[in-house]
Amino acid sequence: MRRIMSLIILGILLLGGIASGCIGGEVKDKQDSSTAEGELTRATLKIFHAGSLSEPLNDVSEAFKKYAKGSLGYDVEIQAEASGSVMAVRKVTDLGKKADVVAVADYTLIPQLLVPNFTDFYVLFATNEIVIAFADKSKYADEMTSENWYEILAREDVSFGFSDPNQDPCGYRSVMVMKLADLYYGKPIFKTLVEKNTNIYAEGSNIIAPKDIQIKTDKVVIRPKETDLTGLVESGSLDYYFIYKSVAMQHNLRFIELPREINLKEFSLAEHYEQVSITLGSTGKTIKAKPIVYGITVLKDTPGRELALQYLHFMLSEKGKEIFEENYQDFIWPPIGFGNVPEEIKDEVKVEG
């Protein structure tokens, strides 16, 4: 009887092993079949990003989609949503919107507003500078220089614009540039250009941007993000605007460069820039003027995190650097990572902390 029972148990085990082998074989065959037939896994990546990153990130995304098909086995749809960087962050923190990647024109927004609840790392990857851009049809275009720009903008028949400081770093950088101009030229440029035309004002060297920005005259135009003003200048509806140099070059606009003491480009002048600050009504935060540095992160609660990190790795590689430079934007090489930098991107960044 014992022998019979032993044989029965052995038979059951053998049958179980065969069954399990068949099931495993079917899965394996199906996987092999998918690979053989070139089937791709469909996926979506959502990116909230600064308006000034629209052109380079569009090119990065197109290149990544081809790379993902050929090397990762993914057919990726990339949904990129441009806005001012402050608004891009607030979509996550205040509005509860979901994204995989957040890329901003002021990297400090990430440690200030996204760490630690929404992410635990960020990477510094690009730089820029503020210029004043215009078109051939802009009033006094042929007179505009790096020395007399504030006099041209002050003329009664001239209009100029900048983005909303409460939503966009280019906006708060633009008004800080005009405050730094007070120090550089020894003239009340901020009062003439900003305080007379808006409800933005200064208390000493600190600028106050009320939550609700109001315009007092038709001389100044303010839009949510800097790239919203580009079409107005191109059409002749607006004479001049403060914008990043990369955007002016991407749109073939004329522009004048500002003195290095006020254009927020030079790292060697960081302490000089910090003499000026701005308090934003939208966040209550006070931000010091500093050299322009872009930052990017992958949010930690996203279900698409693995693919998002592949995207970030691609963007931070030499290919991404090449694409940014083709779009006239200086790339930090190597990019600099802070926080709990994921293993997936460590070979592309210099980890600082």
Residue 30 has pLDDT above 70, yes or no: no
Average pLDDT along the chain: 90
Over residues 31-36, mean pLDDT: 34
User: Are 288 and 276 contacting, i.e. CB atoms less than 8 angstroms apart?
Assistant: yes
Over residues 283-300, mean pLDDT: 97
Structure confidence at residue 173 as a pLDDT band (50, 70, 90)? very high
Q: Which of 252, 296, 4, 256 is nearest to 123 (CA)?
A: 296
Residue 217 has pLDDT above 50, yes or no: yes
pLDDT one-digit tens code per residue, 97-118 = 999 999 999 999 999 999 999 9
pLDDT at 5: 34
**Would you state the structure tokens that stand for residue 291, as one six-digit string?**
């050299």
pLDDT at 25: 33
Dist CA 141 CA 239 (whole Å)? 8
Over residues 81-92, mean pLDDT: 96
User: What percentage of the chain exceeds 70 in pLDDT?
Assistant: 89
Please tell me which residue, 1 or 264, carries the higher pLDDT value: 264
Dist CA 284 CA 291 (whole Å)? 21
